[in-house]
Amino acid sequence: MYEILEHAADLGFRVRAGSFPELLERAAEALVGIALEIEPIAERESYPIEAEGDSNESLLVNWLSEVLYYLDGKLLALRRFQVNSLSPERVAGVAFGEPRDPSRHPARLIVKGITYHQLKIEQNEHGWSCEVYVDV
């Protein structure tokens, strides 16, 4: 036998931007702000970053998953993002930051993954917005 335990393991954020590329940039910055203290991060180096997907939703989730890989897998502290090219199937850009130093870049929360749970992307006359939930 087993018991299902209710667990609130997600944290969400909302981002607004004037364009979809800017939305991707700001969502990446929001993700980093959840995971790390942003202020001490210097934009010393640039790192190419790209993701593929078959919809705006999958592009956003895959882009943020790449950002998370750079934070945890490559141990980088990233501060700013720039989308250089965007097509319906691919986004490519640059992340600016530096190698992660635990004494200068303290962790805020451990983000385990980007989810599709309650993922929302909207466009209206004021621009773009998204709601993203991450597994913490």
Residue 128 domain boundaries:
11-135
* Cβ pair 59, 19 in contact under 8 A: no
Q: What is the pLDDT along the chain (136 residues), one digit of tens a residue?
A: 554 444 566 888 999 999 999 999 999 999 999 999 999 999 999 999 999 999 999 999 999 999 999 999 999 999 999 999 999 999 999 999 999 998 999 999 899 999 998 899 999 999 999 999 898 8
* Cβ pair 121, 133 in contact under 8 A: no
Strands ordered across the beta sheet of 90-99: 45-52, 90-99, 76-87
Distance of CA 65 to CAs 5, 11, 118, 123, Å? 27, 15, 16, 22
- Residue 38's CATH number: 3.55.10.10
Kindly state whether residue 121 falls inside one of the protein's structural domains: yes
This prediction's pTM: 0.92
Kindly state whether residue 5 falls inside one of the protein's structural domains: no
Kindly state whether residue 3 falls inside one of the protein's structural domains: no
The structural domain count of the chain equals: 1
Kindly state whether residue 45 falls inside one of the protein's structural domains: yes
